[in-house]
Structure 1
Amino acid sequence: MAFSLLAASAWAQEEAPALEGEQVVITGQRPGPGLWKVSKGEHVMYVFGDYSPLPIKMDWRSKEVESIIAKSQEYLPKPSFGIKVGFWGGLKLLPYAIGFKNNPDGAKLIDVLPAETYDRWQVLKAKYIGKNEDIERERPMFAADTLYRSGLEKNGLTTRTGVYDKLDKLVKQYKVKVTPSGFEMELENPGQAIKAFKNSPGADTDCFAKTVERLESDIDAMRVRANAWAVGDMSKIAALNFADREEACNQAVFDNEAFKSNEKLRHAEQSARKAWLANAERALEANGTTFAVLSLSQLLGPKNYLLELQAKGYTVEAPE
Structure 2
Amino acid sequence: MFKRLLPTLCLLLPLTAALAQEEPAPAAETETVLLVGQRPGPGLWKVSKGDHTLWVFGTYSPLPDKLEWRSQEVEKVLAQSQEYLAPPRAQFKIGFFKSLTMLPTLIGLEKNPDGATLKDVLPAEVYARWQPLKDKYLGKNSGVERERPIFVAQKLYEAALKQSGLTRGAAVDKKIDGIVKQHDIKVTETGIKLDTSNASEALSDFKKSQLADTACFTKTLDRLESDLDAMRVRANAWAKGDIDAIQKLSFPDQKAACDDAMLNAEFVKKQPALQNVKERVQTAWVAAAEKALEHNTSSFAMLSMTDILGGNSYLNALKAKGYEVTSPD
Tell me what 2:99 maps to: 90
Which stretch has the larger CA shift, 45-54 or 235-244? 235-244
Matched, 1:216 2:225: yes
Give the whole-Å Cα distance in 2 for the aligned partners of 1:159 and 1:13: 17
Q: Flag the 1:10–1:144 CA change in 2: closer, same or farther, 3 A.
A: farther
Check 1:30–1:299 CA distance in 2 against 1; reply closer, same or farther (3 A cut): same
Question: In the alignment, which of 117, 123, 143 is matched to residue 134 of structure 1?
Answer: 143
Distance of 1:203 and 1:88 partners within structure 2: 33
CA RMSD of aligned residues (A): 1.8
Q: What is the CA deviation profile of residues 186-241 of structure 1, one whole-angstrom value per residue up to 9, with x for unaligned ones?
A: 22132222122111112211111111111111111100100000110111100012
| Contact 2:215/2:258 (<8 A) preserved | yes
Q: Which runs of 5+ in 1 are unaligned?
A: none
Equivalent residue for 1:4?
7
**Equivalent in the alignment of 1:305:** 314
Give identity over the alignment, percent: 50
Q: What is residue 201 of structure 1 aligned with on the other side?
A: 210
How far apart, CA to CA, are the structure 2 residues paired with 1:100 and 1:120?
25
Partner of 1:25: 34
State the Cα distance separating 1:137 from its structure 2 match. 0.6
C-alpha displacement of 1:247: 2.1
Distance 2:296 2:98 in 1: 39
Query: Which AA in structure 2 matches 1:126?
Result: D
Answer yes or no: is 1:192 the counterpart of 2:208: no
Cα distance in 2 for partners of 1:27, 1:228 equals 13
**Greater mean deviation of Cα atoms: 11-20 or 97-106:** 11-20
Alignment of 1:99-178 (within 5 A): 99-178=108-187
What is the match of residue 71 of structure 2?
62
**Secondary structure at the residue paired with 1:82?**
strand
**Counterparts of residues 215-294 of structure 1 (less than 5 Å):** 215-243=224-252, 245-294=254-303
Deviations 1:51-88 (A, max 9, x none): 10000111111111111111101111221013343323
Displacement of 1:18: 4.4
TM-score (norm 2): 0.92
- Quick check: 1:81 aligned with 2:84? no
Q: Distance in 2 between matches of 1:161 and 1:86?
A: 26
Distance 1:169 1:269, change over 3 A: same
- Structure 1 residues 49, 267: CA separation in 2 closer, same or farther (over 3 Å shift)? same
Tell me the distance in 2 between the aligned counterparts of 1:261 and 1:97: 19
Relative to the length of structure 1, the TM-score reads 0.94
Confirm or deny: 8 A CA contact 2:16 2:304 kept in the other structure: no
Aligned to 2:305: 296
Query: 1 CA distance for matches of 2:140 and 2:111?
Result: 18
CA contact (8 A) 2:46 2:54 kept: yes
Distance 1:158 1:14, change over 3 A: farther
Contact 2:62 2:235 in 1 (8 A): yes
Q: Partner of 1:52: helix, strand, or coil?
A: coil
Match of 1:181 among 177, 185, 190: 190
SS at match of 1:259: helix
Q: Structure 2 CA distance, aligned partners of 1:151 and 1:244?
A: 14
